[in-house]
Amino acid sequence: MIVRLLQLIFLFFFSNVCVLPYLLKSPPLLNLFMVVISAIYFIVLNITPRWKRQCFSRMEVLMDGRELILLAIFLFLADLCFAIFFLPRLGDKPISIVLNEVVALIILSIIALNGVLRIFFASSQLSLIMRLTLFFTWWIPIFGVFVCLHAGHVARHEYLFMLYKDELNESRKDNDVCKTKYPLLMVHGIFWRDWQIFDYWGRISKELIRNGATVYYGNQQSAAPMEVCASELKAQILRILEKEHCDKVNVIAHSKGGLDARYAISRLNAAPYVASLTTVGAPHRGCRLVDIAVGKIPESLMRLAAKGYNAMYKKLGDKDPDLLSGINDLTTEQCAVFNNEVVDIEGVLYQSVASKMSGFSSAGFPLNVGYAILRRTDGENDGFVSVESSKWGRYLGLYETKSRRGVSHGDTIDLTRKNIKGFDACECYIDIIRKLKARGL
């Protein structure tokens, strides 16, 4: 607080340098000294704001931005009070008053814009709408102040979360809590691929590796018949065994990936190479949304959409994408047949987790619409899969929050990379892996 007050005094003097010396009636040499010192401090402050000076990390840039915005707001209030109560005494010097206000406005704008840009580029938690609002409205009186204060609030919580994660990982860095006996195979769901540019698993994979895990990805096609995806998974498992010189893998599978993995284990004789299968939000008993889509959307329109999808994903890396087959595999009728034919294999640990949204506003489109539909037909759900459909094998529990945010189908894989109060996706997976390690897997 004392440091911030001193900063404010220097900035206040510099922003009112055109009239303050006259009002204070101080010696010219002292005035010159104060002007030079204030100018130097203004430049230094905008280059390296006084936060924890350790390194130019994203956390520091973020909090520097918040600090500059707060200084700009305090400076604005100080300048406003000065203009109201003291500038009228200089009624005989209108040019000095106008010049002083122009200088004050320029200095205030530089500080505020500097803070806005730091948060704009350093924050990962500001939504796109909020980011654009901040960028285009920060200069608007009153409204811009509230927008900047909200951005600073987000920045502070983001900083505290990153600080908490760093301290947590530092406290267990020597324990390798995720260093399991067998490597991990992370299997994605439908409509996606394992791209290096954009990780399907958000920040989860990096956090697991940071805590000792050996992570591989399924690399199966985004949408194809289950037997095709399953055969690709088995081939990937065999490659991992050869590379790691190990006997088995632990599979973590999301959404349709859970069904693909079960098929590979049961029907393609991959069971000897799989120690465990943990499914997250997998539609083991089918997805009612797919039933509705298949029953309501005209077949001609479905085929047209599938043709476009297949053509696009073939260019993106799928060998032989088949959207219609991938979707049909998720109907409740087909999953009932699947569960009769694809039985659990003894010796493989099957376990599952589910999640649920708290309301329509828990996620964006299309999961919010999916939630509303499934809420009527299947009860609690994550926007794509009902809680009951997600359960298979040893049920590990439900991911939820006490707030209205809830945990959606995408949140369970950290899809949006957003920090959710009451739910830490990375820690949930670390907990799963830690328990696998405790089992000797």
pTM of the model: 0.83
pLDDT the model gives residue 265: 95
pLDDT the model gives residue 92: 63
Radius of gyration of the chain (CA): 29
Look at 1 and 181; give whichever has higher pLDDT: 181
86 band by pLDDT with thresholds 50, 70 and 90: confident
Residues 115-121 have a mean pLDDT of: 92
Residues 183-188 have a mean pLDDT of: 95
CA distance 109 to 73: 10
pLDDT at 258 over 80: yes
CA distance 366 to 383: 8
pLDDT at 55 over 60: no
pLDDT at 53 over 60: no
Residues 400-404 have a mean pLDDT of: 86
Q: What is the mean pLDDT of the chain?
A: 87
207 band by pLDDT with thresholds 50, 70 and 90: very high
Phi-psi category of residue 356: left, alpha or beta, with phi > 0 → left and psi -120 to 50 → alpha = beta
Enumerate domains of the chain plus CATH numbers. 2-167 (no CATH), 176-438 (3.40.50.1820)
CA distance 328 to 436: 33
pLDDT the model gives residue 81: 86
Percent of the chain clearing pLDDT 70 (strictly above): 95
pLDDT the model gives residue 198: 77
Residues 155-175 have a mean pLDDT of: 86
Compute the C-alpha angle 233/348/259, nearest 5°.
45
5 band by pLDDT with thresholds 50, 70 and 90: confident
pLDDT the model gives residue 190: 86
Residues 295-321 have a mean pLDDT of: 82
pLDDT at 407 over 70: yes
CA distance 234 to 185: 11
SS3 250: strand
Residue 291 class from Cβ within 10 Å (0-12 exposed, 13-18 middle, 19+ buried)?
Answer: middle
> Could you identify the residue written with the tokens 């190990």?
246
SS3 274: strand
pLDDT the model gives residue 40: 80
CA distance 253 to 237: 13
pLDDT at 67 over 70: yes
Q: Are strands 394-399 and 349-355 parallel, antiparallel or unpaired?
A: parallel
CA distance 217 to 252: 10
Phi-psi category of residue 270: left, alpha or beta, with phi > 0 → left and psi -120 to 50 → alpha = alpha
CA distance 257 to 276: 14
**How many CB atoms are located within 10 Å of the residue 117 CB?**
16
Residues in the chain: 441
> Could you identify the residue written with the tokens 């520097």?
64
Residues 129-153 have a mean pLDDT of: 90
Q: Between 128-137 and 143-171, two packed helices, what is the crossing angle to 10 degrees?
A: 130
Residues 182-206 have a mean pLDDT of: 86
Nearest to 112 by CA among 169, 67, 51, 69: 69
Highest mean pLDDT: which range of 68-82, 155-169, 248-262 = 248-262
Amino acid present at 312: M
pLDDT the model gives residue 164: 87
